[in-house]
Chain A
Amino acid sequence: MAAMRARHKIRAPKRGVSKKTEDFDSIWTDLSSFLTGINTKEYASLEYEDIYRLAYKIVLMMRAPDLYENVKQLEQNWLQTSVQAIVTDSISASLIRAEKSTDAQDQSSERREEGEKFLTALKVAWEDYQFGMGMVADVLLYMDRMVRSHDHPPIYVVCMSLFRDHILRSSIRPSSNLTVLDILESTILFMIQLERSGHLIERPLIRHCIQMLEGLYETLTEEESSKLYLTVFEPAFLNTSKEFYRAEGQRLLEIGDATTFCRLTTQRISEEQERCRFMLSTATEPKVLDLLDSELIRANIEEVVNLEGTGVRHMLDHHQLDGLRNVYVLNRRVDNKKSALTKAVQKRIVEMGKEVNASSILLPQAPAPAEKDDESEKKPEKAKDKEKPQNQQTVAAIRWVDDVLALKKKFDDIRANSFSSDQGIQASIGASFAEFINLNPRNSEYLSLFFDENLKKGIKGKTESEVDALLDNGITLLRYIKDKDLFESYYKKHLSRRLLMKRSASMDAERQMISKMKMEVGNQFTQRLESMFKDMTISEDLTANYKEYVARNGDPDQKPVDLEVNVLTSTMWPMEIMSNVKEGTVRLPCIFPREIDALKQSFERFYLDKHSGRKLSWQANMGTGDIRATFIRPNGKVQRYELNVSTHALIILLLFNDVPDGESLTFDDIKNRTLIPDHDLIRNLQSLAVAPKTRVLKKNPMSKDVKPTDAFSFNHEFHSPFVKVRIGVVSGGANKVENKDQRKDTEKKMNDERNGSIEAAIVRIMKQRKKLTHSQLMTETLSQLSARFVPDVNMIKRRIESLIDREYLERVSEEPPTYGYVA
């Protein structure tokens, strides 16, 4: 320390090896011989430290830039004098000739051989040079650190650019314009074409050449984007690929088989993926696949989908899930909406749906003439054979629903298995189903019948989840039905029958159904249906209460008649049940026999006591009654039967209590004494006197039709194997397809109801908005009503007119037509 302080200065430490006189040139002479040794691969006794120290010394002389330039010059000379010749010599004349063509076919084997020779020569030259430069850069590390501060690129980078310029970019022959790079590019492309046409090629060799192109840059700053691979090779590769796949598309189409097309295309995709991964660059993969998509798939997919005999239609019909999956995958590659496939599927669905519609119309035509006879014949048997469908049309209705559901299941299946449960396709399938379902004008009725049938019988013996699935299926169809209000009215009608006649197999299932509908269509839709259920429950309580009431206050003398009452809120239940008006004539209430009338009055007293101000109207046509009838056989034996008959039949039968044996009542007598409407009377008399199994009355003359002149008498010979006999009313109790008149009737009612809904909607909108143009009002009205039905535009127009007439609305302006609300 003392010695150092004496110096009082900081001096650079003395160097050990600086004895011999050194100048730049002599050091460079040594150094250059080492570097040449690296180039010529004479590595023996090549000591890193020696060379590094030489470079270090030069840098200390502040001659680093000179060294840098000298090294650059040395490497350039090396490339020009030695390497270049080796590379160009390996290029044969045929390679030069074929430069412009990448066609795999002409002189393929010769060209291939020579191409491999050339690629090998280039690969070796490159790898040797790259390796050597790695060593050069290592020993010149100190120089690099020094020149870096002068903004020179590292020596390695410069040397790489020398290879680019003096080998790849040099012309192959002194006279030629072609460069080594041109030949390299065409040769590799040629090899790839060979591979595409099914030949095996020397992949690792090409991989090495590609790596070379990836390791060289256009610029000294070596940006990722300036790789020779990206600037030179890739564009050329994509170009040839494009042409290739355009031709390939044509070729495959000519084969004319959709399955083959899909299979080969899928294969091409994976080939290209593999090629990019193992031979070219992963960065190229998306680009070439893009190209493949557009040239091979996008251009052809529509034709492929629609290929006659092998296309999507064929696949759908033959349930070729794999084929469909291939089409789907290909279509998805080029089109997010998969429109080609979707269109084909939709078309097929509508076609198949129309077939289903047609068959449901065709079917009932055949047994139609026999229908009437059938009915009267079959009714009595029904007690025995409940499983037998009621008539052909109902069968057709249910079959229609079943067919639609089967179709739906088929397509759901295809969607799940082949279309990856694609959302978009699901929507399209749904749209197509809606399309053909709504082509069937009786869809609502059929569907309601389907539910009716199932809720009455179909669900018997089924597990909860099966019932659930069944109802869900039905609900799915409901989703597609446009006129939900029509469905509602049918459903209501059928439901009311089920409820009143206690035909439902399971109340749980009924309620489940309601809640499902509520989920699907909305609260408003099920409101009335629910209140029907409520009426039923309340009525049960009421009946029970009434029984207590009778027990307390009843006249002990009189034989009590059990009464079970359903009090129905008139607005909630179907019109045809409630209505006392038929074809414009007010129907008078029928005259009840004494016993019944007393009962009726007693109940009315009880009910009005509880709910004053209400009006009860008795619907005899909907009720049933149990009656014990005594038949005195000619041999004096007494046979008792319990008859379960409709209320009307009950009234009729009670008349005969007052008729002495052997005497009869005429039709008119009965009519006058009961005031039962003709229609109902005829039906009831038919079931009492005509139906073979339940002939409690004798008719004179014996015929199937009931005429006003017919006379009826009590049939003491009535016989039945059972003690309890149920006597149904002909064509009254069952839910089945409406005939034309009924249909018209329903439609008319529907229209009335719709008119009401439309008006209500219009008034609601206008009350809120005060003033609206015609088109706005139309849109809003349509959107408000769409959940229930799709109203006809003319219908709305008429309603608007009508509202204007009734001074709910007024015309505010003509241009554009605008309405105002009149408060």
Chain B
Amino acid sequence: MSGPTSEYVTLVSRDGFEFIIPRNVACVSGTIRRMLDPSSKFSEGLTGRCVLDEFPGMVLEKVCEYLCYNDKHKNDINVPDMDIPPELCLELLMAADYLDV
């Protein structure tokens, strides 16, 4: 479930929640894409495991949901809105900024 070529990667939150999502979905994020760039020599790229110390699991979960949402609708014409809970919206804004999504 890891390694530079595996199809899935693991995102780990500050409080230790792990989210396993497809690599191409994770790479919607510019930051994660660079992190996992197989041509670079970063340890994340080698292990397929990204520890994102900035975010609690609650936020990272929503981020992962968004990544999937984005990947699912990337070619759609009329993309439905994704529900963002108001209490998380600022956290998510920060996360979006950090992860460049």
Contacts and interface: CB of A to CB of B under 8 A. Distances in A.
- Is there a contact between chains A and B in the complex with CB atoms less than 8 Å apart? yes
Interface of A: 1, 4, 10-13, 15-17, 41, 43, 45-49, 52-53, 56, 134-135, 138-139, 141-142, 145
Given A48-B43, A141-B100, 7 more contacts: A16-B55, A47-B43, A48-B35, A52-B31, A53-B54, A56-B98, A135-B40
Contact of B98 (A4, A41, A142): A142
Contacts of A53: 53-54
Interface in B65-90: 86-87, 90
A793 to B, nearest CB: 78
Contacts of B53: 16-17, 49, 53
A17 B53 CA distance: 7
Interface in B33-59: 34-35, 37, 39-45, 50-56
Contacts of A52: 31, 35
Interface in B4-60: 14, 30-31, 34-35, 37, 39-45, 50-56
A52 B71 CA distance: 24
Given A17-B53, A17-B54, A53-B53, A141 B40 contact: no
A61 B41 CA distance: 28
B37 A15 contact: no
Given A4-B87, A13-B90, A141-B30, A48 B45 contact: yes
B20 to A, nearest CB: 17
Query: Residue among A4, A16, A49, A134 with the most chain B CB within 10 A?
Result: A49
Contact of A49 (B35, B39, B41, B56): B35
B43 A13 contact: no
Nearest to B41: A43
A41 B42 CA distance: 11
Nearest to B43: A47
B56 A16 contact: yes
B91 interface: yes
Contacts of A47: 42-44, 51
A1 B86 contact: yes
Contacts of A139: 34
Contacts of B55: 16
30 contacts: A1-B87, A10-B90, A11-B90, A12-B94, A13-B90, A13-B94, A16-B55, A16-B56, A17-B14, A43-B42, A45-B43, A46-B41, A46-B42, A48-B35, A48-B43, A48-B50, A49-B44, A49-B51, A52-B31, A53-B54, A56-B54, A135-B41, A138-B35, A138-B37, A138-B42, A139-B34, A141-B30, A141-B31, A141-B100, A142-B31
Contacts of B91: 13
Contacts of B94: 12-13
Given A13-B91, A45-B43, A49-B44, A138 B34 contact: yes
Contacts of B86: 1, 4
A12 B89 CA distance: 11
Nearest to B42: A48
Interface residues of B, number: 27
B43 A46 contact: yes
Given A1-B87, A49-B35, A16 B43 contact: no
Interface of B: 14, 30-31, 34-35, 37, 39-45, 50-56, 86-87, 90-91, 94, 98, 100
Contacts, number: 70
A41 B40 CA distance: 11
A46 B100 CA distance: 21
A48 B98 contact: no
Nearest to B56: A16
A145 B98 contact: no
Contacts of A15: 54
B14 A135 contact: no
Contacts of B43: 45-48
Contacts of A17: 14, 53-54
A43 B44 CA distance: 11
Nearest to A43: B41
Contacts of B34: 48, 138-139, 141
A135 B41 CA distance: 8
A113 to B, nearest CB: 32
Nearest to B30: A141
A141 B30 CA distance: 9
Query: Residue among B52, B54, B55 with the most chain A CB within 10 A?
Result: B54
Contacts of B41: 41, 43, 46, 135
A375 to B, nearest CB: 96
B90 A49 contact: no
B25 to A, nearest CB: 18
A600 B69 CA distance: 112
Query: Residue among A12, A17, A47, A145 with the most chain B CB within 10 A?
Result: A47
A215 to B, nearest CB: 16
Nearest to B90: A13
Nearest to A137: B34
Contacts of B35: 48-49, 52, 138
A664 B91 CA distance: 144
A15 B43 CA distance: 24
A606 to B, nearest CB: 94
B44 A134 contact: no
Closest 6 CB pairs of A and B: A43-B41, A138-B34, A48-B42, A48-B35, A135-B40, A16-B14
Contacts of A142: 31, 98, 100
A444 B86 CA distance: 103
Contacts of A43: 41-42
B15 to A, nearest CB: 8
Contacts of B98: 56, 142
A813 to B, nearest CB: 81
B97 to A, nearest CB: 8
A145 B101 CA distance: 13
A200 B74 CA distance: 50
Contacts of B87: 1, 4
A131 B35 CA distance: 15
A4 B90 CA distance: 12
Contacts of B30: 141
Contacts of A145: 100
